[in-house]
Amino acid sequence: MTGPEPETNEPAHDPEVLQLAAKIFDLARHGDAATVAAYVDAGVPPNLSNDKGDTLLMLAAYHGHADTVRVLLERGADARRGNDKGQTPIAGAVFKGEVEVVRTLLAAGADPAAGQPSAIDTARMFGRTELLDLFGVQ
């Protein structure tokens, strides 16, 4: 004998909430710093992550949006938080050669040795010597 389907009031199951989250991830990906800041100020968690564990900060960093990275960090986003694959925002910024984003994340406490591959490993792999110098390694 089967019972009724369990009811859920979890916001994560609400299609409108999922649609809004997708919109906010797109805003971070496209660097709309002011709108991302407004959403976070209105209550969106600064460490909101998608189904892959990518946070708003990860998407903004990977796509080179230093202003969006800054507004997220100012609102409590975790510069050290990796995604489900162990990739960190700073490693993503190194991969894309986004020096200003790397500097911003470092200033916020990002660890260039963390993650898989780490920002240091990524800089070595792509010959980004200016970033290795910034990290204090060779």
Bridge partner list, 118: 115
The domain locations on the chain are 15-135
- Of 88, 44, 23, the closest CA to residue 62 belongs to 88
| Other Cβ atoms within 10 Å of 40 Cβ, number | 21
Long-range contacts of 106-109, Cβ-Cβ distance < 8 Å, separation of 24 or more: 106/134, 106/135, 108/73, 108/79, 109/79, 109/80
In which band, very low, low, confident or very high, does the pLDDT at 44 lie, cut at 50, 70 and 90?
very high
In tens, the pLDDT along 52-109 reads 999 999 999 999 999 999 999 999 999 999 999 999 999 999 999 999 999 999 999 9
Q: Which of the four pLDDT bands, split at 50, 70 and 90, describes residue 18?
A: confident
Query: Which of the listed CATH numbers 1.10.1520.10, 1.25.40.20, 3.50.50.60, 1.10.760.10 matches domain 15-135?
Result: 1.25.40.20
